């Protein structure tokens, strides 16, 4: 694979993630419109106490093959609206997980490309048990496989890239998008773990945020900036959802990586996080392309 092919493949995959997000948003908005119309209609008849939705759920008994009642559910119009929004948020969570995994694959391929083009860009442990003579005979797919097996991905790869691409190291914290890209990627990595393994909910939000800050080198023995904590907290809901990762569109409130001057109208939270991944990938691609390393 060429450098351009690696980057193009990444962009196409992320574009599909964003396409799915737009489709989910449009479908959900139509459904919410119908539910809100039904809710308004019910409110016009105060004496009417019928539920907005009645559902029976069945499964097939393995012993005799008959349908057996699993559950019976009645939902009000308000409950149906909450369920629909919750489902949309859950879909957005999985899109973020997918976007992160695509980014991680991009880093593995980029690192493989660098090692293939210039063996000296890899640390010796990346090659495994192989002689220096044999390294020269290996094709790109050997380097790709070794890159996939590198421990501590993505942070070990990013750490190495910062060493060989000093300008990228600077861009992570000093950029025109007013975003700490290093912190953002660590945050997304941790959010993805919670989404995949914990249903998108943390048990201890304060502990989660402190873990993100520690990995980003911003904990400072507990003397971290409260402004950063507040920004990360806004990726969670409120009230009963205070420990739930919230990625649906929100009204103009301060969010991590969003300059105050552009916070008007509705903010696409998922898009903000995906933009951090895109900004990182493009900066890495551009710095390698413009360098004399390969």
Tell me the DSSP string of 92-116.
HHHHHHHHHHHHHHHHHHHHHHHHH
- In this predicted structure, the answer to whether residue 248 has a pLDDT above a threshold of 50 is yes
pLDDT given at position 294: 84
To the nearest whole percent, how much of the chain has pLDDT over 70? 94
| Residue closest to 257 by CA, chosen among 285, 224, 286, 232 | 232
Average confidence (pLDDT) over 244-250: 92
Average confidence (pLDDT) over 190-215: 97
- In this predicted structure, the answer to whether residue 194 has a pLDDT above a threshold of 90 is yes
Residue 158 buriedness (CB in 10 A; 0-12 / 13-18 / 19+): buried
pLDDT given at position 213: 96
Separation in Å, CA 278 to CA 13, 99, 101, 144, 184 = 11, 9, 13, 21, 11
Q: Quick: pLDDT tens for 38-96.
A: 888 777 777 666 676 778 888 998 989 999 988 888 888 888 888 999 999 999 999 99
CA pair distance 25, 11, nearest whole angstrom: 21
Radius of gyration in angstroms for the set of CA atoms belonging to the chain, rounded to a whole number: 24
Which of 52-66, 77-91, 98-112, 135-149 is the least confident region? 52-66
- In this predicted structure, the answer to whether residue 161 has a pLDDT above a threshold of 80 is yes
Q: What is the mean pLDDT of the chain?
A: 90
Predicted TM-score (pTM) of the model is 0.89
**71 phi/psi in degrees, rounded to 5:** -165, 160
């Amino acid at each position: 694979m060429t450098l351009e092919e690696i980057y193009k493949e990444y962009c196409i995959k992320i574009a599909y993630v964003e396409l799915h997000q737009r489709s989910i948003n449009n479908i959900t908005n139509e459904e919410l419109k119908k539910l809100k119309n039904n809710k308004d209609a019910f409110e016009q008849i105060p004496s009417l106490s019928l539920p907005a939705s009645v559902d029976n759920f069945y499964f097939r008994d393995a012993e005799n093959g008959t349908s057996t009642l699993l559950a019976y559910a009645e939902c009000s119009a308000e409950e149906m609206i909450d369920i629909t929004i919750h489902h949309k948020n859950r879909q957005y969570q999985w899109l973020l997980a997918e976007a992160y995994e695509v980014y991680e694959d991009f880093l593995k391929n980029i690192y493989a490309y660098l090692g293939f083009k210039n063996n000296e860009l890899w640390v010796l442990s990346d090659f495994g048990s192989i002689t220096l003579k044999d390294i020269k005979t290996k094709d790109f797919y050997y380097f790709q496989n070794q890159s996939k097996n590198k421990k501590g991905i993505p942070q070990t790869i990013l750490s190495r890239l910062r060493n060989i691409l000093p300008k990228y190291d600077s861009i992570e914290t000093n950029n025109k998008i007013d975003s700490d890209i290093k912190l953002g990627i660590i945050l997304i990595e941790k959010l993805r773990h919670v989404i995949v393994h914990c249903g998108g909910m943390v048990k201890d939000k304060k502990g989660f945020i402190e873990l993100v800050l520690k990995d980003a080198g911003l904990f400072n023995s507990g003397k971290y900036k409260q402004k950063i904590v507040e920004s990360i907290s806004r990726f969670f809901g409120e009230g009963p959802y205070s420990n739930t990762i919230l990625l649906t569109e929100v009204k103009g409130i301060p969010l991590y990586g969003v300059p105050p001057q552009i916070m008007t109208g509705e903010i696409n939270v998922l898009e903000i996080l995906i933009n951090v991944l895109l900004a990182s990938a493009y900066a890495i691609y551009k710095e390698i392309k413009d360098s004399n390393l390969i």
